[in-house]
A and B are shown apart, each in its own frame.
Chain A
């Protein structure tokens, strides 16, 4: 069992972070299109956990069985699974791996739920360090307008109802998102997040993201790299 941390794989990991409605997923998928067109091997790590972990997480959420600690641990299990299955192997193959949300999501969310900041940081020490972590910074009123306008209904944990900030689900979501945003802001320096002003046009943001990523690509291969000896096995 390796604690990955700094890695020396031929591929590179880029991740996006930010509160709901910051537009990070849109930017990541545009980045993916561009990298593919440039001829890179790109692996988009969607948050599709193994059915086992997913089943446990969904049951815990549906039945509202999760406490701050178990919420934190089951999501750490999930990310570990995702890293072991969907991030490490493509990085070894020399691919560019793109991930929507990563450790900072957990640090922000879990700490708002009352989990100790140092405990949760230790918990995620297994996580591989990304080449760049983009943080899409957006004022709360803009992100809330995007989210609340677009979606049918907020869910219990998503709205942070378990934190008992407000009885009203929408009000709870607003306060919860605001608290998560504060935690993100604190982490900008701590984790060297690359801040993107998410109030600008989609095109302007994407230009900036591509320019930053491009500077990291000088040593990324376009063909798989592996040890020739492994072929015999």
Chain B
């Protein structure tokens, strides 16, 4: 199996997946992370065509997009029918299905995998809901360590005007209403997102996030991301 001379090597956070040899993976795994409303999906939708126009094959993925569990999670969230542990594990099922059936095959084929959120959002959402951090981190020991994690960081004050621009306003889940963090959606949103940002901030060092100030304009963030992604792709592969 010594066919390529890549210096680049993937590793798992924990024990990884049965039957997957990270040495066979040649692509790049790039993560865009951040709390709700920081503009992750906008950036992913701009990065993808830019990378493709530069000759890279790109697979983009994001939460609840698995063939296996995506639909079930969406229904569970609409009906509020699952308990917090079950929903946390349902998300983990969705993640594992996408990892094994989308991301890993793409990396094996040399694609750039661009993912809108990764395990960090899922870990943060579980921790804010009272999960034991060691437990949830161990569950995600099956995840690959990405090549880069861009954390779009914004303060709650930056998020609120963006929420107000959406017709639906403050979303039930984005406001953490399931854990009763406030009297109404606004109070709850502020407390919930503040806690989420706190957990994300605590992960910066631990997981080596590249922090990008998401209070800037879409174009400013995109230029910043282009520069950083460009640098990453020029590194010996």
A113 to B88, CA, bound (A): 23
Question: Is there contact, CB below 8 Å, between B82 and A123?
Answer: no
Q: Does B236 contact A (CB under 8 A)?
A: no
Residue of B nearest to A50 (CB): B81
Check A68 against B18 for contact (C-beta < 8 Å). Answer: yes
- B157: min CB distance to chain A, Å: 28
B interface residue count range (under 10 / 10 to 19 / 20 to 34 / 35 or more): 35 or more
Taking a contact as CB atoms under 8 Å apart, the answer to whether B82 and A115 are in contact is no
Judge whether B109 is part of the interface by a CB distance below 8 angstroms. Answer: no
Residue contact A114 to B126, C-beta cutoff 8 Å = no
Number of interface residues of A (CB under 8 A): 36
Query: Which of A20-28, A74-82, A148-156 contacts the other chain?
Result: A74-82
Contacting B at CB under 8 A, from A34-84, are: 50, 52-53, 55-56, 59-60, 65-70, 73-74, 76-78, 80-81, 83-84
By beta carbon, the residue of chain A nearest B97 is: A70
Q: Contact: B130 with A65, CB < 8 Å? A: no
Tell me, yes or no, whether A223 is within 8 Å of chain B by CB: no
* CB proximity of A196 to chain B, nearest CB, Å: 30
Task: Tell me if A74 and B85 are in contact (CB < 8 A).
Answer: no
With a CB–CB cut-off of 8 A, which chain A residues contact B83?
Answer: 80-81, 83-85
Contact partners of B19 in chain A: CB under 8 A: 68, 114
Q: Considering only CB atoms, which chain B residue lies closest to A119 in the complex?
A: B15
Query: Does B142 reach chain A (CB closer than 8 Å)?
Result: yes
In the assembled complex, the Cα of A81 lies from the Cα of B84 at a distance in Å of 9
The interface bits of chain A over 118-162 (1 if a CB of B lies within 8 angstroms of the residue's CB, else 0) are 110011011000000000000000000000000000000000000
Instruction: Tell whether B141 is near chain A: CB-to-CB under 8 Å.
Output: yes
Check if B86 sits within 8 Å of A60, measured CB to CB.
no
Residues 94-110 of chain B, each 1 if its beta carbon lies under 8 Å from chain A, else 0: 00110011000000000
A178 to B90, CA, bound (A): 30
Q: Which 6 A-B pairs have the closest CB atoms?
A: A84-B83, A114-B18, A81-B86, A1-B130, A77-B89, A80-B86
B→A interface (CB under 8 Å): 14-15, 17-19, 67-69, 71-72, 75-76, 79, 81-86, 88-90, 92-93, 96-97, 100-101, 126, 129-132, 135, 138-139, 141-142
Listed A/B pairs (11) with beta-carbon separation below 8 Å: A50-B82, A55-B72, A56-B71, A59-B68, A69-B17, A69-B142, A70-B96, A84-B85, A119-B142, A122-B138, A126-B135
